[in-house]
Structure formats: structure tokens, C-alpha cells
Amino acid sequence: ELKVEQNPLFLSMQEGKNYTIYCNYSTTSDRLYWYRQDPGKSLESLFVLLSNGAVKQEGRLMASLDTKARLSTLHITAAVHDLSATYFCAAFSSGGGADGLTFGKGTHLIIQP
Amino acid sequence: DSGVTQTPKHLITATGQRVTLRCSPRSGDLSVYWYQQSLDQGLQFLIQYYNGEERAKGNILERFSAQQFPDLHSELNLSSLELGDSALYFCASSIGQQSSEAFFGQGTRLTVV
């Protein structure tokens, strides 16, 4: 059974600082997704990482995937208040009667001025 | 706007009742996924349909069922509702059978009283 663990689960940081959110998954999965969720809102797709060594960047966010270590990271550079949200990683599991995304518990990120 | 439409946005009902949640996928998407989000369980994959056929099952209770119609919209039926079924139910859609990139609807917030 695929398990996905994120850490930290809660992060409060100041504007202008850098930080990394970590996402570990338990079994082989070569697809890793990052989503953002604002309070009471839907999930917005940020990144889809499809291969080992994949790195994607959008603005102040950069995501990477190491399939050998079963680890993905979401790095925030020079954080701004607008990035405050909950960030989820999700890994794709196939077979065993359950195809779908397995989500981590999410990282609640607060960026303070 | 992801292009995935869910109705209703909010639903309040009593224990023991039955409700139907509706989802219209993005134009061109053949896969529909249902997820449940609650504070204690996080985001849980429930079920997937592809082009009208059930593709995969996750943590879906026997009291819950779903279907996808010829026009590709999907309905999630929840019966014999319990207080613990109160949650945010998301529908997502993607082009293919296996999750390439899934786009989420705004969700239906179900409150069972």
C-alpha cells in the first residue's frame, strides 16, 4: 500500500526567506504531483513530475523528484504572503484494484510579513 | 477555474438520509475521480470512472456508489448517512485512464446533522 508522508505539516515563515517541504513515499511511484489549496477552496495543480531527476519551476516555487530516494521536494524561494496556503504532494499508485492519487496530509504554510 | 463543475456546493442533511453529488468533467476528459477530504482522514481517493466504466476503487464505503453517464458526467451517491460522512467531496477529471494531470472541481461540502 502506497503511503505518502509530508513534512513539516505546519510551517510559519517570514517573507523573503527560503524553505523546503519534503514528500516521501513508500513504494515505487514514478509520478509525483504537487497541489495548492487555499482555505475552503479546491486543489490547484502546481507541478507534475514524471521521471527521476525531474525539476520544474514556476515563479518562487521549484519542485524536484528523486525516485530512487522516493523523495520529492517543493522549494520556496524568497517567500511572499501570497504563497500562504496548504500544499499537498500526491503519488500515483497503480494496480491492486486501486488506481488513484495517494495524498500526503498537506503542509499548512503561513508566510508572515 | 479548472473547468470541472460540481453541484451542489453545500449540502446539509440528516443522518440516515441519501444524497447525490454531481460532477461535470472538463471538456474532453474521459476520467472522473472522486475524493473525500476530512480533517481526520485527509484526502482519500474513493473511486474512478473512465469513459463510463468503473476503473478503480479506493477507500469507498459500501454505502457509497458512483456512476458515469454517457455524457461523461458522474454522480456520487451516499446513503444511510452518518455524522462521520461530513466532509468535502471533490471530483477531479483527466484525459486518460491513468492519472496524467487531474483537475479538481470546487467540491461539495456535505454536513450530516
pLDDT digits (tens, 9 = 90+) for A11-31: 999 999 999 999 999 887 768
Give B1's contacts in chain A (Cβ within 8 Å). Answer: none
B98 and A94 within 8 Å at the Cβ level: the answer is yes
- CB-based contact B99 A43, cutoff 8 Å: no
* Residue in chain A lying closest to B55 (CA): A99
Residue indicated by cell numbers 467540491: B107
Look up residue A87 and give its three cell numbers.
500544499
From B55, B100, B105, residue closest to A42, measured CB to CB: B105
CB B58 within 8 A of CB B1: no
**Is the pLDDT assigned to residue A100 strictly greater than 80?**
no
In total, the C-beta contacts within 8 angstroms joining chain A to chain B are: 59
Q: Measure in Å the smallest separation between the Cα of B91 and chain A Cα atoms.
A: 10
Count of beta carbons in the 10 Å neighbourhood of residue A51 = 10
B25: which DSSP letter?
Answer: P
pLDDT at A94 over 90: no
- Are A44 and B2 inside 8 Å of each other by CB? yes
Residue type, A28: T
- pLDDT range class, residue A97, cuts 50, 70, 90: very low
Burial class (CB in 10 A: 0-12, 13-18, 19+), B23: buried
pLDDT of amino acid B98: 65
Nearest to B101 among A41, A45, A104 (CB): A45
pLDDT band at B74 (very low <50, low <70, confident <90, very high): very high
Determine the distance in angstroms separating the CA of B103 from the nearest CA of chain A, rounded to an integer. 7
The predicted-structure confidence for B5-53, as pLDDT tens digits, reads as follows 999 999 999 999 999 999 999 999 999 999 999 988 888 989 999 999 9
For residue A49, list chain B residues with Cβ-Cβ distance below 8 A.
Answer: none
Q: How confident is the model at residue A98 (pLDDT cuts 50, 70, 90)?
A: very low
Alpha-carbon distances, residue A69 vs A3, A29, A53, A65, B29 (angstroms): 14, 11, 11, 9, 33
Report yes or no: A32 at the B interface, CB cutoff 8 Å: no
**Mean pLDDT, rounded, of chain A:** 90
In DSSP notation, B56-113 reads EE-S--TTEEEEE-TTS-EEEEE-S--GGG-EEEEEEEESSSS-SS-EE---EEEEE-
pLDDT value, residue A95: 55
Q: Which residue of B lies nearest to A107 if distances are taken between CA atoms?
A: B42
Is B55 in Cβ contact with A44 (below 8 Å)? Answer: no
User: What's the pLDDT at A96?
Assistant: 44
